[in-house]
Amino acid sequence: MPYIIIDEERCKGCGLCTVACPKKLVSLNDQPNALGYTVAVFNNQENCTGCCFCAEICPDVAITVFKEDLR
């Protein structure tokens, strides 16, 4: 099952990935992190298709998409 990992050190909370995901699986955190950014959060892995739209639109290269869950 595909999934994504969001690098919180890179994410600036721009929200582009939340719009790009056709399944609406990415949202912004309610609370800012230590740097003041409301970083992106991945929700509901069951519906991820691995399409990579979220990763492709991210200007900070903060999202990595995995096509298979090898964890």
Binding site for ligand SF4 (CB under 6 A): 4, 6, 11-17, 20-21, 23, 25-26, 40, 48-54, 57-58, 60, 62-63, 65
Minimum distance from CB of 10 to ligand SF4 (Å)?
Answer: 7
Q: Which is nearer to ligand SF4, 15 or 32 (CB)?
A: 15
Tokens of 61: 């290269």
Q: What is the DSSP letter of 45?
A: G
Distance, in Å, from the CA atom of 59 to the CA atom of 23, rounded to the nearest integer, reads 20
CB 66, CB 2: distance < 8 Å: yes
Minimum distance from CB of 33 to ligand SF4 (Å)?
Answer: 11
